[in-house]
Amino acid sequence: MIKDYELMMMYTPKLSNEEADAANEAILTQLREAGAEIIKTDPWGKRILAYPINKLQEAYYYVNYLKMDSLAVKDFKQQFNINEKIMRHMFVARDEK
């Protein structure tokens, strides 16, 4: 089933701004190849974290809005968990109102 998703990505601050943009674009390319439709991307830039993650105080934030098959989400979560550039990620199914 195709659903609307909001995908929040947090990338390590060890990357430069350009490298973080490229990392997010690589993720979007993977999603497109899996059949996802990217609606828009909202880059929030480098932000201070509410609490340290792996002794890091900052992260690059990106919010990606997309439509994709709900069965593919689990596979992407597994891929994101092993990507060293990604500190945290979260898929949120958006309500259709």
In the predicted model, what is the mean pLDDT of residues 84-96? 91
Tens-digit pLDDT profile for residues 18-66: 999 999 999 999 999 999 999 999 999 999 999 999 999 999 999 999 9
Number of separate domains in the chain: 1
Q: How far apart are CA 3 and CA 23, in angstroms?
A: 24
| Cα–Cα distance measured from residue 29 to residue 23, given in angstroms and rounded to the nearest whole number | 10
Q: At what angle do helices 17-33 and 73-82 cross, to 10 degrees?
A: 150
> Residue 83: pLDDT above 90?
yes
Type of residue at 85: K
Q: Average pLDDT, stretch 72-88?
A: 93
CATH number at residue 61: 3.30.70.60
Q: Residue 16 is part of which domain span?
A: 2-93
**How far apart are the C-alpha atoms of 77 and 90, rounded to whole Å?**
8
Query: What are the DSSP calls for 12-40, one per residue?
Result: -TTS-HHHHHHHHHHHHHHHHHTT-EEEE
pLDDT bin (cut points 50, 70, 90) of residue 97 is low
